[in-house]
């Protein structure tokens, strides 16, 4: 059962990417508040306006997707994508023309 929980096809990543207006002070505050709220829910910046979060299962990922949907700003574009750990692991990351080192996968603490 434990190996089923740690399966690379069961572990999920939730990606939130957005383009929010920042022309006025009010719009910048709304964009900043959105960023702070998703970070408070455990999302980390991958690139500017692209945040991701590791989830132990699809059910857990859906909880975080629902939380993001509840705080969507009135204006701008927000995309939410859920992918498996296996798909995430196939991503190639570059800094300029050099391949970047992949960071450590976050560890999940299980209490039960």
Residue 95 has pLDDT above 50, yes or no: yes
The CA distance from 108 to 112, in Å, is 12
Q: Which CATH architecture has domain 2-87?
A: 2-Layer Sandwich (3.30)
The number of beta carbons lying within 10 Å of the beta carbon of residue 5 is 12
CB 12 within 8 A of CB 89: no
Place of tokens 């990922």: 61
Statement: residue 78 has pLDDT above 90: yes
Whether pLDDT at 6 is above 70: no
Helix (H) or strand (E) holding 49: none
Domain residue extents for the chain: 2-87
H or E element, residue 25: helix 25-40
Structure confidence at residue 103 (pLDDT): 64
Res. 3: pLDDT tops 80? no
Query: pTM of the full predicted structure?
Result: 0.81
- Residue 77, beta-bridge partner list: 19
**Residue 112: pLDDT band with limits 50, 70, 90:** very low
Residue whose token pair is 């970047």: 100
Report the sign of the C-alpha dihedral through residues 28, 33, 36, 37, in that order.
Answer: negative
């Amino acid at each position: 059962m434990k190996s089923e929980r740690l399966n690379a096809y069961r572990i999920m990543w939730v990606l939130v990417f957005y383009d929010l207006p920042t022309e006025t002070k009010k719009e910048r505050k709304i964009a900043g508040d959105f960023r702070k709220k998703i970070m408070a829910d455990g999302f980390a910046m991958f690139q500017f306006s692209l945040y991701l979060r590791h989830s132990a299962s699809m059910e857990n990922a859906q909880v975080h997707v629902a939380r993001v949907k509840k705080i969507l700003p009135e204006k701008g574009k927000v995309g939410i994508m859920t992918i498996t750990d296996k798909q995430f692991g196939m991503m190639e990351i570059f800094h300029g023309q050099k391949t970047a080192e992949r960071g450590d996968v976050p560890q999940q603490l299980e209490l039960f």
